[in-house]
Structure 1
Amino acid sequence: MSLSREQIAQRVAQEFNDGDYVNLGIGIPTLAANYVPADIEVMLQSENGLLGMGPYPTKANVDADMINAGKETVTAATGAAIFSSAESFAMIRGGHVDVTVLGAFEVDQNGNIASYMIPGKLVKGMGGAMDLVAGADNIIVTMMHANKHGESKILTECTLPLTGVSCITKVITDLAYMEIENGEFVLKERAPGVSVEEIRSKTAGQLRVDGDIPEMTFV
């Protein structure tokens, strides 16, 4: 069975380390704010000018003025700071964000990402993604493994305009967790109930499988 959006976000949060400064992109990445492990502390950064973003608010504590970069209402954690977007991008471009989590239309085996444009379609656009992929060493992509027609989005070479070149280190999809090493996807974990054969069939890029691949675990 493939993972839900929430399960993908939960698996992403397992990649966070205590003390990390983390930027969460629009969509599935933002959901990871709800799944930060209880035994670690991370500071979530939003490029519109918030450091110390908390989980999504309940109906009782919604503040319409407290939003993330995707214009969704969020909460502020204890010790949070609010500042201008210029200062926020100075943090990003200065390499002060440890982990960036982004959505994508396509990724390829060389670590390239296409996430902002599909010719002929209206999409949200670049946002801060180009700065984010240039400013962090640990960039994780969350996405569906294949499109609605069953065509792979995990490619040998991206076909859409690129957001960043040779920058992606990890990919978590509804089927698998993979790392990119030496021009290939290395399968590390598979979604519960999903076979290696299914992952192979839906991966257009070079996929390396070393030994038995464990299923993902969720607390």
Structure 2
Amino acid sequence: MNHLTREQVAQRMAHDIPDGAFVNLGIGAPTLVSNFLPPDREVILQSENGILGMGPAPAPGEEDPELVNAGKKPTTLLAGGAYFHSADSFGMIRGGHLDICVLGAFQVSARGDLANWSTGAPDAIPAVGGAMDLALGAKQVFVMMDHLTKQGDSKIVPECTYPLTGVACVSRVYTDLAVLDITREGVAVREILADITFQALQGVTAVPLLKF
């Protein structure tokens, strides 16, 4: 089965972020979205460690050790950008001022429950970060994740078995196989990204899929 790379998934997601949106990119793969935002759109990126107007990753050799995103990775600041205290950053998040947040996930349920901070294993390292605030505070939650675990199990599930980050909060899921909308009727396939059929996609997904 042909899977998209994380860069290709990030590029596909960036296409759906509208002009004028205020967006938070979560730690890890979601930060790749900043590298693919269309140049003809003004998208204002917020980082929970206290940046508004964050830009793409810097070119090699141009990193500023004092300018990093929430995942401690080098980033850039666009013209008009600003730094501020993390308390002010979470005031933006909890105040409902973000249009979209992009998060990774271990599991997403058919009704949009999100599990992304722990697998619940005894030796798992808790990694809550700001995910719970973002899942509740953002107007839309986009998830970027692999469609399957390393063991080949679907990460889109009837019910999450890992500790929850948020309940019924996910709007859309971007995987290396498809773009899926979480609707009241169920999980709808907006677009198949890999070279597979709808039936093949259903075969590797643990919930019934609807045609968009």
Coarse TM-score class (shorter-chain normalised): over 0.9
The answer as to whether partners of 2:176 and 2:194 remain within 8 angstroms in 1 is no
Cα deviation per residue 1:46-86 (whole Å; 9 max; x = unaligned)? 00000011110112321011000000010111110000000
- How many Å separate the matches in 2 of 1:139 and 1:9? 15
- How many Å separate the matches in 2 of 1:14 and 1:204? 27
Which amino acid in the other structure matches residue 188 of structure 2?
V
Which amino acid in the other structure matches residue 116 of structure 1?
W
| TM alignment of 1:71-150, pairs within 5 A | 71-118=72-119, 119-123=121-125, 125-150=127-152
- How many Å separate the matches in 2 of 1:48 and 1:79? 18
Per the alignment, do residues 25 and 53 of structure 1 end up closer, same or farther by CA in structure 2, a change over 3 Å counting? same
What's 2:162 paired with? 160
% identical aligned pairs:
47
- How many Å separate the matches in 1 of 2:68 and 2:98? 19
- How many Å separate the matches in 1 of 2:196 and 2:114? 25
What's 2:183 paired with? 181
- How far did 1:184 drift? 1.4
TM-score normalized with structure 1 length:
0.93
- How many Å separate the matches in 2 of 1:52 and 1:129? 20
Which amino acid in the other structure matches residue 141 of structure 2?
I
What's 2:55 paired with? 54
- How many Å separate the matches in 2 of 1:162 and 1:17? 28
- How many Å separate the matches in 2 of 1:149 and 1:47? 32
The answer as to whether partners of 1:147 and 1:153 remain within 8 angstroms in 2 is yes
Which amino acid in the other structure matches residue 163 of structure 1?
T
Query: After the TM superposition, which segments of 4 or more aligned residues of structure 1 sit over 4 Å from their partners?
Result: none
Query: Structure 2 unaligned runs (5+)?
Result: none
- How far did 1:183 drift? 4.9
- How many Å separate the matches in 1 of 2:161 and 2:60? 42
- How far did 1:38 drift? 1.4
- How far did 1:194 drift? 2.2
Give the root-mean-square deviation of aligned CA atoms: 1.1
What's 1:15 paired with? 16
The answer as to whether partners of 1:107 and 1:154 remain within 8 angstroms in 2 is yes
- How many Å separate the matches in 1 of 2:189 and 2:129? 30
The answer as to whether partners of 2:50 and 2:88 remain within 8 angstroms in 1 is yes
Which amino acid in the other structure matches residue 74 of structure 1?
T
Query: Structure 1 unaligned runs (5+)?
Result: 211-219
- How far did 1:123 drift? 3.9
Per the alignment, do residues 47 and 16 of structure 1 end up closer, same or farther by CA in structure 2, a change over 3 Å counting? same
- How many Å separate the matches in 1 of 2:145 and 2:3? 12
What's 1:70 paired with? 71
